[in-house]
Amino acid sequence: MGVMPKWADVVLVPLISLFIAALLSALLILAIGESPVAALKLMIEGTLLRSSGWGYMLYYTTNFIFTGLAVSVAFHAALFNIGGEGQAMMGGLGVALVCLFIPWPHWSFAIIGASLGAAVFGMIWAGLPAYLQAKRGSHIVITTIMFNFIAAGVLNFFLVGALKPKGSMDPATANFPATTHLPTFEDMASLMGFEKMFRAAPANVSFFLALVACVLVWVLIWRTPLGYEIRAMGKSEPAARYAGIGSVKTIMVAMMISGALSGMMAINTTQGESERLILNFTEGAGFIGIAVALMGRSHPLGVLLAALLFGFLYQGGAELALWTKIPRELIVVIQALVILFTGALTLMVRGPLERLFLSLRREG
C-alpha cells in the first residue's frame, strides 16, 4: 500500500489482469481450432461497430450496473450480498404489481412507481437476512443464497397462480399496459431523427436510471454521514461501536440499500424489455454483479467500467456463438477467466508490479 502511485493501483493492475485473461482465452480458442484474432474481430464488429450491438451491450450493462452497485454498497459494510438474484426477482414482482394494477398515464410516471415498487420489494428481501445477521449473527452469505431459492419459489408461485392470466399456459404475467412501456434507444433515436439505429435492441431509458444510480451511490458512500458510518463499520466493527455507530442499524440500512439496487435491475428487464414478468428473467445477473463489484473495487466508476466490459463480453459472446464454432460454454470460460484474474488473482499482478515500482524508485 502506498508503494504504487494511485493510477497504477486503479488502472494498470486491472488492465494487466485483463490482458492475462485475454491471453489465456486466446490460447483456449486456438486449442479448439478457431482463430483468436478472428474471434476478437467478430466480437468487436458485432458489439462496438454496430449501433444495435451497443443496444444489446448497454442492455446487459444496465443490469450489471444495478447488481454491481448493490454488491458494492454491501461490500462497503463488509457484507457479502450474494442474494442479488433473489432481490432482483422480488424487485420484478414489485414492478409487475405496480405496472399491472395501477393505471399510469405515462411511462415517466410509471417508471417512478416501478422504481419504488422494485426498490421496496428488493429492500424487504435483503432486509430479512440482514436482520438475521445483525441480531442473531446468522451469516449473510448463507442466508442470502437461501433467499435466492426462496425468491425463485415465490416467483414461480405467483407466475403459475395468482398473476397468470386465465387461459394462458405460459408461467408469466399478462403484458403490461402500453402506457408503462419504456422507450428503447431505438425509440429515442427516432425521436431525434436518427432512423434505423439500435434496431430491435433492448437497451432502454433505464440505462440512464442506472447512471443516475451510480452518481447517487457515490454521493451516499463518500459524502453523507450514513455513508461514512457504513464504511467505518465495514472497516472495523469495534471502532464503530466506540464511535457510537449502531451496528444493527447500519447493517440493515446498508443491506436494504443493496437490495433496493438489485431490485431496480428488474426495471430494465421486466418493464423495459419483456414488458411482463417471466420466470428466470434475472439470468445470473445477480452473480455477475459480484464480479463487477470486485473488478470495480466497489467504486461506482469502476462498477460502470466493469459493467461495460461484461456487457461487451456477453454480447460479443452471443455473436461468437452465432457465427463461429466456438461454443457458448467457452464464452462462460472466458468470462470466468476475467473474473478470476481481476478478482481473485490481483495479487499475482500486484506483487511484481509493486517490486517494479520499488526498484524504479530506488534508482530514481
Partner 1 sequence: MIRPRHWVGAAFVDKGILMSQPAIELKGISKAFGSVQANKDISIRVMPGTIHGIIGENGAGKSTLMSILYGFYKADAGEIFISGQKTAIPDSQAAIFAGIGMVFQHFKLVENFTVLENIVLGAESGAFLAPSLRKARAELAELATEYELNVDPDAVIEEIGVGMQQRVEILKALYRRANILILDEPTGVLTPTEADQLFRILGRLREEGKTIILITHKLREIMDITDTVSVMRRGEMTATVKTSQTSPENLAELMVGRKVLLRVDKVPAQPKQQVLEITGLNVVDDAGVARLNDVSLSLRAGEILGIAGVAGNGQSELLEVLGGYQSATGSVKVNGATLDLTGANSDGQSRRANGIAHVPEDRQREGLIMDFMAWENAVFGYHRDLAHQANRFFMDNAAIKAETAAKMQRFDVRPPNPNLTAQNFSGGNQQKIVLAREIERNPDLLLIGQPTRGVDIGAIEFIHQQIVALRDQGKAILLVSVELDEILSLSDRVAVMFDGQIMGERDPAKTNEKELGLLMAGVTGEAST
Q: Which residues bind partner 1 (CB under 8 A)?
A: 1-3, 219, 223-225, 228-229, 231-232, 235-236, 238-248, 354, 358, 361
CB 230 within 8 A of CB 254: yes
Helix (H, G, I), strand (E, B) or coil at 219: helix
**Residue 295: CB minimum distance to partner 1, A:** 20
Judged by beta carbon, residue 41 or residue 361, the one nearer partner 1 is 361
**Nearer to partner 1 among residue 319 and residue 354 (C-beta):** 354
Q: Which residues on neighbouring strands pair with residue 184, listed in sequence order?
A: 204
Distances (CA, A) of 224 to 4, 303, 318: 29, 20, 41
The Cα–Cα gap between 229 and 74 comes to 13
Report the alpha-carbon distance of residue 69 to residue 67 in Å, rounded: 5
Give the Cα separation of 148 and 42 in Å (integer): 35
Q: Which three cell numbers stand for residue 154?
A: 415465490
All cell numbers assigned to 309: 466490459
Amino acid at 193: G
The answer to whether residues 266 and 151 touch, using CB atoms and an 8 Å cutoff, is no
- Minimum CB distance to partner 1, residue 143 (Å): 21
| 25 vs 10: CA distance, rounded Å | 23
